[in-house]
Amino acid sequence: MSNNSISDALRSALTTAAATRHLLVASDYDGVLSPIVSQPEDAVPNPASVAAIESAAALPNTSAAVVSGRALADLSLLSGLPVGGPVTLIGSHGTESSTGFVTEVTDGDRARLARIIAEFDTLAADYPGVRVEPKPISVALHVRNAAPADADAALRRARDGAAGWDGVEATEGKAVIELAVIKTSKGHALDALRVRSGADAVIYLGDDVTDEKAFAHLGAGDVSIKVGDGPTIARHRIPDTDTVATVLQFLLTQRSHIVIADNR
């Protein structure tokens, strides 16, 4: 796909951001680096997108991160990006990080999480295709493979049940509801990444409802990019994961030119 698939406004915004002193490039995984698939374990990333993220992280004064709702180990395995590598990995909507900023989990939190998992296991048994995914400090209820009526009923029971318990933080995405025992969001994770990296500008690509919290934490000098359909507060929109690769490759080219020129 050529750079002509990128709007003039987005191309201009990327070029401006590429010229900043220190740049942070961050992205969601599912629906951005990888297409959405029916089985989460089959979410293979676009190699061109991953290569661009890795190449960006290797440039001077440039940081890169993948921010996902997936558990950290799962994110690393599927993306092929190692924990502790140059690309920072953020899992479970910000509560797990390859750089170590993880909120302390108490015994009370663990007990609450066990109750939620038990509740979701009971709920899922009533609806074929509904799947429970336990994570270190949260549990997700996936309904993508359930019949529409069953999916709606399962989500409604989750909202009316465990989502309302004290100390539980609910996050809804595409065909999933996730309940965490620690308050967090992709927006807070992005703030932490900005501080740690010292970034003057942030570029973030996301496709889901949970990414809107990340977009909300971006400022005038940042670049927010929504992938796919649906309402968004992002300033820019691209149609699909193939265009994500085009955007990242264009950004990498612009950033590389700036870095080379500065080092002459």
Tally of CB atoms within 10 A around 123:
19
Tally of CB atoms within 10 A around 150:
16
Q: Show contacts of 120-127: CB within 8 Å, 24+ apart.
A: 120/158, 120/162, 120/179, 123/154, 123/157, 123/158, 123/161, 124/154, 126/154, 127/151, 127/153, 127/154
Quickly list H helices, the chain: 8-18, 47-57, 72-79, 107-124, 148-160, 186-197, 211-215, 241-262
Give me the CATH topology for the region 3-102+184-262.
Answer: Rossmann fold (3.40.50)
What is the value of pTM for the model shown? 0.85
**Token pair listed for 86:** 């140059």
Chain mean pLDDT for the chain = 93
Higher per-residue pLDDT: 180 or 105: 180
- For 133-190, how does the pLDDT look when each residue is reduced to its tens digit (9 = 90+)? 998 888 999 999 999 999 999 999 999 999 999 999 898 888 999 999 988 789 989 9
At residue 11, does pLDDT exceed 80? yes
Over residues 210-239, mean pLDDT = 97
Q: Which CATH number does 107-180 carry?
A: 3.30.70.1020
Picking from 45-49, 74-78, 136-140, which range would have the lowest pLDDT averaged per residue?
136-140
Domain boundaries, the chain: 3-102+184-262, 107-180
